[in-house]
Structure 1
């Protein structure tokens, strides 16, 4: 059975869910959610892995059950290490989607000794050039910005789910069950001030190779 606990980090309290069943002797697996969802997005993968692996997932600041206590500069990678430390994970496999994938890549580059392997789904890459959006996507993103300016968080979250789950051409395509984890962003908690990125950082596409001696991140392209 999974357990939910809150981990105190500077300026926030992170909701961390973990499970270690009897007989689960495989390497620890830590799930990192996308920017349009919370930890619940990994429900299917969680159920598949818990019989054999110790697993964990958590809500980043401003998502799900986590709480921003006061605005403070922070690092998502540092929050990740705090979660691992609290669970007693010296090393883990990081599974990340979208922004969660970017956090996994950044963390691996900073501390490869703590990462056994990487599983990435459409990850963001720190320092990558800004994307160029077509008109349908741009129209929704402009509507998201307008909703944010008006303080209409419900409309903002609904538009984000439409863009990232339905797709710009098929509003309502995703089922209510699949949309539920994508509508938890509650910025009423107060903003989380993020540490600015360094300029001129090179962006890499990574291939993660696991061996008995650890994790090897191989750069296969750069911009």
Structure 2
């Protein structure tokens, strides 16, 4: 398992499909928003939480089509399917690698970019906490979408259409927690719902993704 995780991390860095690409996209989105809405501090502060969460969601979406594509193209996925490691564990490791290379850097840089959007200081910790709790769900759900479309030519658009509706609950509760924290309100309830969504996806979707991959490999 450790060897597979290290391999996927190296592939994400070398292939240019994960680390760096999502971070650059996140930076571009956050930098362009103030130019689009104007230098109104009150407006930027009000939309900051939602903008940061939407930027993180879209950045996570960028590299999902490469989760299984490289292994499918070179035949590694067939070898992994016959390995002693269960397919559910393989899917979970790939989701973890995606989170480490794509989502975790976004969590780290989010408070810095929040300054550009004039997010109140009280909202920094709720923002980071909501991203830490919510982004694993994005990676696991994205892994399920990538498993559904593996082997399809130009399946990236179809995968986006399948995954984005599943992202909506995570986006709602994540942005709501960050917004409430920025406004000085209690944000425990949306965080609990967010944690519940993440735990549910981690518990169920690897089995669904593994089942879909077995069907596609027949």
- TM-based fold match above 0.5: no
Report which of the two has the higher share of helix: 2
TM-score range, shorter chain: under 0.3
* TM-score of the aligned structures, taking structure 1 as reference length: 0.27
Report which of the two has the higher share of strand: 1
